[in-house]
Structure formats: structure tokens, C-alpha cells
Amino acid sequence: MITIQIPIEVVLGVNVVSGVEVTENSGEMAELIEEVSERLRREIKVEDLKEHPVVRAYRNFYWRIGIDPTKQRPSGEALVRRALRGNIPRINNVVDAGNIASMETFVPIGLYDLDRVKGELRLRFAGEGELFRPIGGRDEKLEKNQIVLADEEKILHVFPYRDSRETMIRKETKNVLIVACGVPGVDKMVVETACRKASDYIVKLAGGRAEKCRMLM
């Protein structure tokens, strides 16, 4: 489903959940978010977050490809920071399910409307000036050191940072592609756990049927 075309040993945990029902957030979702947030606040402080081994691995990865991780934070770290400050965004039951799994594992997780994906997917370097349409932001022109997940027509994700509005989860979404993003220094089992947790939470909160997570390297 995804071909890795970069000379860096990344790991992807990939799965599909079919037949979901995307809805507004429920009381159960709010309880889960608060439970995970409270546990994080007991276990770690914001000022110590950058030394967490998983967070450190993603930061090292960014420095390796020439990106400042204090300016473009990996999404897992960004979510945990927001949880520690009591400011987790609420989107819908599917997106929030993925966010909970990411908060628990510190692993960035992308969620995509599978029916809007066109053809084969590739993890590759962006072309200089290639267009990206991020969720909640203006169109961006990327630099060639940035890694992207792209189909045959467009970019779905800047790795492991931000998703595109072109394949984001909408009310009419029925089939969800999950991609948990691992980098050197993050154990394969942690990435697999992130993929499995996202799958399980989506089924729990939005219904549908999950396949088995596949690990790509």
C-alpha cells in the first residue's frame, strides 16, 4: 500500500478501518481524553518533555534532515504538550481516537479518508516548491529536505508533522487509513502499538471493522 522511497530507516504502522460513522464528540470521548491527559500530567512535566526517549528520537530525526524541531514539532510531541497544558483540540470521534493513541505512545499518527486517496502511496522527499494544503492553514510550498506521504496526485502528509485537508476525516468519511510514523530510535513495537491503539479506539468510538496493522520498513 505504501512504498518507502527515502534512504532513512523509518517504520510505518499501517491499517484500515472500514465502515466508520464520523460524529461529534461524545461524553465517552471527553472522559478518555481527560483520563489520558491527567495521566500524562502525573508522569511528565512540559519542561522535561524534550528528554523523553521517544520525543528525543523524533527531534534527532528532524535535525538529521535539516529541520528545526522547535519550529516544526512532530505531531506526537505537539499533542502531548497540549495535553500537559490542558488544551487538547476536539475534532470528531475518529480524529480524537487517533489523537488519544498518539498521546499515549508519543508516536505521530496520520488518519486519512481512504476513498480520497488516488492510486499508490509513496513516502518520499518533496520536490522543491511542491504544494501542500495543510489542515487549518494556508497552502505551503515545501522544501526538498521535507519528507512527505503522497499519492499519485497530491501530498497527504508532511512526515511526521501535519496532514492535508484534501484527505482529512470528514462527516461523510467511511473508510479510514491509519499511518503510525516511526523513525530511527523508536522501537518497532512502539509504532505497532500506536497503530493498534488507534485502530481499537476508532472501532470503539466510531464503529467499523479494523484489519490487522501491517509494519512497513
CATH number for position 124: 3.50.40.10
Q: How many Å apart are CA 50 and CA 43, to the nearest integer?
A: 14
In DSSP terms, which residues pair with 204 in a beta bridge? none
Q: How many Å apart are CA 76 and CA 49, to the nearest integer?
A: 11
Q: What pTM does this model have?
A: 0.95
Could you check whether the bond before residue 160 is cis, i.e. omega within 30 degrees of 0? Answer: yes
The total domain count for the chain is: 1
- Residues whose CB falls within 8 Å of the CB of residue 105, separated by 6 or more in sequence, listed in order: 54, 76, 180, 190, 193, 194, 197
Question: What confidence score (pLDDT) does residue 21 get?
Answer: 97
Question: What confidence score (pLDDT) does residue 86 get?
Answer: 86
Question: What confidence score (pLDDT) does residue 30 get?
Answer: 85
Cell of 204: 470503539
Question: What confidence score (pLDDT) does residue 47 get?
Answer: 93
Question: What confidence score (pLDDT) does residue 174 get?
Answer: 98
Question: What confidence score (pLDDT) does residue 29 get?
Answer: 82
Q: How many Å apart are CA 124 and CA 157, to the nearest integer?
A: 11
Cell of 178: 491509519
Q: How many Å apart are CA 209 and CA 65, to the nearest integer?
A: 37
Q: How many Å apart are CA 37 and CA 217, to the nearest integer?
A: 31
Residues of the chain with pLDDT under 50: none
Structural domain range at position 81: 2-216
